[in-house]
A = this chain, B = another copy of it.
Amino acid sequence: MSRPLTIAVAQSGAVQKDDPRQANVARLCKMMSDAADQGADIVVFTEIALTTFFPRYYAEDRAEMDQWFEREMPNAATQPLFDLARERGVGFYLGYGELTPEGRHFNTSILVDKEARIVGKYRKVHLPGHDEFDPDRAFQHLEKRYFEPGDLGFPVWDTMGGTMGMCICNDRRWPETFRVMGLKGVELVMLGYNTPSANSQNDGETAEMRKFHNRLTLQAGAYQNSTFVAAAAKAGTEDGHHMFGESCIVAPTGEIIAMAKTEDDELVIAEIDLDDTAFGKATVFDFARHRRIEHYGIISTQTGVTKPSVK
């Protein structure tokens, strides 16, 4: 163990529409405090961690949804998290709806160091769902209505002893997410998610299948870039909508080394060694030796499917 790091993934149970931010932050502070008691260096909270997962609600007037966004960070509601982080000497990842001074809306996460400084910001690139009310869906998923796609790319940050990256929820299904960070040497990717247990467009898709897709994409992203991944769910039933848990920590081998057992507020803790990322990066995934970018062009030049003329 030459670069040990104790990660605590802080899964959140359901947050209801009327739960005040202060009460929710108190729950997050409780988990941060418990994590610090267990030696955590960093706590990974979930996506949209401060409120219910509001993109399930349709508002014709988008401005009605501004109540779910944070206009500054920290703010009065979240200051206790920053104070506790500084006091206990733990960093954290936190997801929230960001409303900028210019009136732009993003699904955002921040990386906060052990001195409670915001050292990194990420804005969700891959927004799932749709932007207009869709009567054909069993429920709405209006992320494309309420957020702009992230405009910051996939940065990484050298902090807390390693090279850290962030993404959010649906980003994990896209190998490009992990690869861009992998090409920057990422060693730990943190993410939060709110993933419904049902597919709004396919009532035959089971919750087990959706959990499998969660694990599959996290494990593949970890293995194919030889990085740790720490993923925090918002779980349980919000306003009748169930979200699965399975918050987990994945090793650079793709193995799941710790996973949540409940759908409530729960800490998932692992002591890792960031140097365990080195073997894969030096051998099977030594990108400099093995990648063949001359054949990858359309990945970054072509958005949708184009059927080629080759027969």
> Cα distance A279–B201 when bound, in Å?
9
Collect the chain B residues with CB atoms within 8 Å of residue A128's CB: 284, 290
- Which residue from B174, B216, B308 sits with its C-beta under 8 Å from A156? B308
Per the bound structure, the CA–CA distance linking A209 and B284 in Å amounts to 14
A127-154 interface (Cβ within 8 A of B): 127-128, 149-150, 153-154
Asked whether A229 is an interface residue with its Cβ less than 8 Å from the other chain, the reply is no
A residues contacting the other copy or chain, number (CB 8 A): 70
B284 touches A184 (CB 8 A): no
The yes or no answer to A234 lying at the interface (CB within 8 A) is no
Chain B residues with CB below 8 A from A75, complex form: none
Q: Which residues of A contact B (CB under 8 A)?
A: 119, 125-128, 149-150, 153-159, 163, 170, 173-176, 179-180, 182-185, 199, 201-202, 209, 212-213, 216-217, 219-220, 223-224, 253-255, 279, 281, 283-293, 295-308, 310-311
A304 and B283 contact, Cβ closer than 8 Å, known pairs A175-B175, A217-B220, A299-B180: no
Question: In the complex, which residues of chain B have a beta carbon less than 8 angstroms from the beta carbon of A254?
Answer: 212-213, 216
Asked if B283 and A303 make an inter-chain contact with CB atoms under 8 angstroms apart, the answer reads no
- Residues of chain B lying within 8 A (CB to CB) of residue A212: 254-255
Determine if A307 and B163 form an interchain contact, defined as CB atoms under 8 angstroms apart.
yes
**Neighbouring B residues of A199 by C-beta, 8 Å:** 283
The answer on a CB contact under 8 Å between B295 and A180 is: yes
Partner of A300, one of B159, B289, B300, B304: B300
In the assembled complex, the Cα of A27 lies from the Cα of B177 at a distance in Å of 44
Q: Is the CB of B301 within 8 A of A154?
A: no
Residue of B nearest to A292 (CB): B125
Query: Are A288 and B303 in contact, with the CB atoms below 8 A?
Result: yes
Least Cβ–Cβ distance between A203 and chain B, in angstroms: 12
